[in-house]
Structure 1
Amino acid sequence: MDSMDCINERVMGVTLTIEQTKISIIQTYAPQQGRSLREKEQFYETLQEMTETIRHHENVIVMGDMNGHVGQNRDGVEHVIGEFSIGERNQEGERIIDYCVMNNMSIMKTYYKYQESHKWTWYRWNAAQQGYTERSMIDLFLTNKKNIFKDVRTIPSVSLDSDHRLVVAKLKIVKPKEKVKKKQKRFKLENLKDEEKKQALRQLLICDNFWHVFHSAGTGVWQIKPRNNTVEEGRAVRLTCHMASLPVASYIWLKDNAALPVNKSRYYQPKPGVLQITNVQPQDQGMFRCKAINDMLNEEFLSNWGYLTVVPRKNEEGHLFQHSLLAVPSKVEVHKGEEAVLECITDDEEPDLHWTRIDETPIAKNRTIRKGQGSLVFPSVSEQDTGVYNCTAVSKKSRDPISTQMIEFTMMTPPKVQLSMSVSKRPVPLNTNVSNGETVRITCATWGTPAPSISWYKNGILHVETGRHKFTNKNSTKTFNSEDLFIGIIMSTDTGLYQCVTRNRAGVASDAFILNIPMVANLPLPPVNVSAVAIDHESVNVSWMPSPDNVSGYIINFITGKPRKKKI
């Protein structure tokens, strides 16, 4: 057992790991008929809070006495209720279904075909008639992963001295397959002597790194999911969802498990995963969710449900309602030539929104469009459009500004990269032969918006710092980044293809060259039986057996935990 959380006498949770599979179980005892409405609402609020604390990709099972009849009607909730449910639905059953819809769960008792005696979970004995006159299916298993269930049935012969019968579920736990570690590509350095093979290898490394980035991303988890909202009639609301995905996923909004109704005057989707609803009406109330589509993987993913509740507007007689702007992203980044949307939305049903630039440059009307309630759209972005913008809501009565929102607008540019090299502090052309014992400094400079990151590769393998190889002189601004790869006391083993790969959200760039250290004839052999014993944090005793060659001396690099290096 990994953890246990007992909330109250009606809800508790346990997390288990079985065969490397994590299962979160929530045990429940719902308020029965006759209990107050507030008590029932508190139960489902507590249950929802615990459900939301569990990571969505875990196997979640909710089990217990739910005290509700879900009935046989499956219209619109086929993913919640199976073909073999029984009885009629009541109000408590509606609550169970709403919870399942919100959390993408299924009622597993309804998916298995058995005779009725193996479906009823509760019986009431009638002493006068000497028989069971009432029965229902209220003890349930709910889950977000149907594939782990093999069977759910009632055992009618076991009463446990209760009017409830034992309900048993069989699970199928499959041990995850161990991931096979991919072999790293190795390159024959002798091929680098051929100029055609050298250029082909250089292009291969650039492409290989790009596809490595692509495959390592894939499709991830829902980072933003629709949440429950309560909005007064006539106000506005902004719903959002987002899934980590490469390539970027497209999104479709669903309402009550159907396609979003067309309403161009009040529904506006400024960008993927965002839905603005203005002048909210009672018919807008319902369950909203997102469907994310990854075209490259040919897969679809559904988010959890978020419930939009529309309530009557409060009596404002004698009180002036202070309208405000709804929260929107304060930074917008797009590529050159793409469409950009600077959102602006207010809860005023008769909005008066004004856009200005903070540098007081006029906004070109021929380059922008107003959409939705007041969003500013750039159909094709160029450098002149970037800057800091203000959206201001103005009072129609006093013409005074009520609220202002600032948005920073940036055009992303893909990286450009350039390599340069110096040997023993002397600038030299790339591909210059370097002698043993010299020092080499390779500088990678890259430009882009935002500033690109830098990664080093040697012969196609990610390069890391070692005793003689250090990353130094790091320098960066908002649009520039540079870094040196310093190699001290060069050796023939340092020969290879060195590549600087730079990345930002706009793209990838790479530059590479061959560092060649010619082999020197009759080099002395290294010492043998080398031993190092630490004396203190800055001293070490090093001993060895000399090689049979006539060696006049050795150089030892002593690397401390502090950012300095000593020669002994």
Structure 2
Amino acid sequence: MLSLEAQRALIGWEPVNSGIITTKFNTKESKIKLNIIQFYAPTNDADEEKNDAFYQQLQAVLDKTGKKDMTVLMGDFNAKIGGDNTGYIEVMGTHGLGYMNENGERFAGLCSLNQMVIGESIFPHKRIHKATWRSPDHVTENQIDHICINKKFRRAWKDVRVMSGADISSDHHLLMTALRLRLKKFNNATNRRTRYNVSALKTKEVKTVFHLSLSNRFQLLQDQLENNDTNIETPQWQSSRKCGKAHARKS
């Protein structure tokens, strides 16, 4: 979901798999594009092979981003980083919540390899603005959702914090970041849309013609379905197979 300004600056997007999606935006900074990589990582209890496969896929996505681009990596890492940044001073601060787990080590290692900084560990906030997940009994809280950015653009960061008051019907809280970066309109096919003169439907004659045309189109579709004996919820290849069997029985 994009604001109008972001929609105009959109260059493109790509669903990599069920857990990773990427998008690219044009900016007013010379030769700098904004890459946003959204993901959902396996849990800490998942098989090691599954975790390794996910991180390899994510690394492959990061390798495709431009070296001069600003890249924002965000989502549910299912990783706890804690407040001890020993060994990871370059990629995280000391404002994390809790203690680092195995997934947290994987996550910090990925950030170190790609020179990315973990936002929640940099900006000091109260606990209520750190915990991104709460158990159903409201007893346990963890910081497992994260937002990262290339180290070279760290000064463009204004804040990263949890918006605990936002109701998103989830046991996760909304995580927000603010950046100093201006988007610029990018002219391509994704920004073009057909505009309809909806106000013309207020005219009785136009409204009548529109309803008639719409009814004829639906009737035509219904006739085709009845003639082909096709269920719209049945894949086309299954319908073709049924027709083939019926033809064989007649023969």
Q: Is residue 60 of structure 2 the alignment partner of residue 49 of structure 1?
A: yes
Change (3 A) 1:16 1:175: closer
Of 6, 15, 26, the match for 1:17: 26
1:175 Cα shift? 8.2
Q: Is residue 79 of structure 2 the alignment partner of residue 90 of structure 1?
A: no
Query: Which AA in structure 2 matches 1:64?
Result: G
1:104 is matched with which residue?
A: 115
- For residues 335-356 of structure 1, give each alpha carbon's deviation from its aligned partner in whole angstroms, at most 9, with x where no partner exists: xxxxxxxxxxxxxxxxxxxxxx
Any idea what SS the aligned residue of 1:51 has? helix
Separation of aligned partners in 2, 1:18 and 1:105 = 20
- For residues 72-98 of structure 1, give each alpha carbon's deviation from its aligned partner in whole angstroms, at most 9, with x where no partner exists: 111121111113112101000000011
1:151 is matched with which residue?
A: 159
1:34 Cα shift? 2.5
- When Rg is computed on C-alpha atoms for both structures, the one with the higher figure is 1
Larger RCO of the pair (alpha carbons < 8 Å, separation 6+): 2
Query: Which AA in structure 2 matches 1:149?
Result: W
TM-score, normalised relative to structure 2 = 0.65
2:89 is matched with which residue?
A: 78
1:125 Cα shift? 2.2
User: Is the Cα–Cα contact under 8 Å of residues 31 and 39 in structure 1 kept in the other structure?
Assistant: yes
Query: Which AA in structure 2 matches 1:160?
Result: I
Query: Which AA in structure 1 matches 2:125?
Result: Y
2:140 is matched with which residue?
A: 134
Query: Which AA in structure 1 matches 2:84?
Result: N
Change (3 A) 1:158 1:175: closer
Bigger proportion of residues as helix: 2
Separation of aligned partners in 2, 1:101 and 1:33 = 20
Of 175, 195, 200, the match for 1:167: 175
> Equivalences for 1:165-314 in 2 at 5 Å?
165-173=173-181
- For residues 464-512 of structure 1, give each alpha carbon's deviation from its aligned partner in whole angstroms, at most 9, with x where no partner exists: xxxxxxxxxxxxxxxxxxxxxxxxxxxxxxxxxxxxxxxxxxxxxxxxx
Q: Is residue 130 of structure 2 the alignment partner of residue 124 of structure 1?
A: no
> Equivalences for 1:387-426 in 2 at 5 Å?
none
Q: Is residue 59 of structure 2 the alignment partner of residue 59 of structure 1?
A: no
TM-score, normalised relative to structure 1 = 0.29
1:458 is matched with which residue?
A: none
1:360 is matched with which residue?
A: none
Query: Which AA in structure 1 matches 2:60?
Result: E
1:8 is matched with which residue?
A: 17
Separation of aligned partners in 1, 2:139 and 2:19 = 28
Change (3 A) 1:12 1:175: closer
Any idea what SS the aligned residue of 1:133 has? coil
- Give unmatched runs, 5+ long, in structure 1: 127-131, 177-568
User: Is the Cα–Cα contact under 8 Å of residues 84 and 94 in structure 2 kept in the other structure?
Assistant: no
Separation of aligned partners in 2, 1:159 and 1:18 = 31
User: Is the Cα–Cα contact under 8 Å of residues 108 and 146 in structure 1 kept in the other structure?
Assistant: no
Any idea what SS the aligned residue of 1:44 has? helix
- Give unmatched runs, 5+ long, in structure 2: 1-9, 185-251
Change (3 A) 1:174 1:12: closer
Separation of aligned partners in 1, 2:114 and 2:130 = 24
Separation of aligned partners in 2, 1:66 and 1:119 = 15
Separation of aligned partners in 2, 1:12 and 1:161 = 22
User: Is the Cα–Cα contact under 8 Å of residues 148 and 171 in structure 1 kept in the other structure?
Assistant: yes
Q: Could you list the runs of 4 or more consecutive aligned residues of structure 1 that deviate by over 2 angstroms after TM superposition?
A: 18-21
Separation of aligned partners in 1, 2:173 and 2:46 = 23
Q: Is residue 47 of structure 2 the alignment partner of residue 36 of structure 1?
A: yes
User: Is the Cα–Cα contact under 8 Å of residues 134 and 141 in structure 2 kept in the other structure?
Assistant: yes
1:450 is matched with which residue?
A: none
Any idea what SS the aligned residue of 2:139 has? strand
Query: Which AA in structure 1 matches 2:73?
Result: V
Bigger proportion of residues as strand: 1
User: Is the Cα–Cα contact under 8 Å of residues 66 and 139 in structure 1 kept in the other structure?
Assistant: yes
Query: Which AA in structure 1 matches 2:18?
Result: E
Separation of aligned partners in 1, 2:94 and 2:100 = 15
Counting aligned pairs with the same residue, the percent is 26
1:174 Cα shift? 5.5
Any idea what SS the aligned residue of 1:50 has? helix
